[in-house]
Amino acid sequence: MSHDRGDSHWEHAKTWERACRHIALFLWWAAERGLASEDHDPKVMAKGPTEHFIGMCDTKLWDDDFNEEGSAFATAEYEGYLKAVSAYAKSLGIGDYDIEENEATKQHFFELLDRRLTAWRSHSTKLANKPRAVEAKTTVVKKQPKKKTAKQATKNPKKKSKKPATKKPKKPAKKPPKKRR
* Ordered DSSP codes for 54-120: HHHHTTEEEGGGB-HHHHHHHHHHHHHHHHHHHHHHHHHTS-GGG---SHHHHHHHHHHHHHHHHHH
pLDDT digits 0-9 by tens, 84-141: 999 999 999 999 999 999 999 999 999 999 999 999 999 887 666 655 544 444 444 4
Percent of the chain with pLDDT over 70: 69
- pLDDT, residue 60, reads 95
Residue 9 predicted with pLDDT over 60: yes
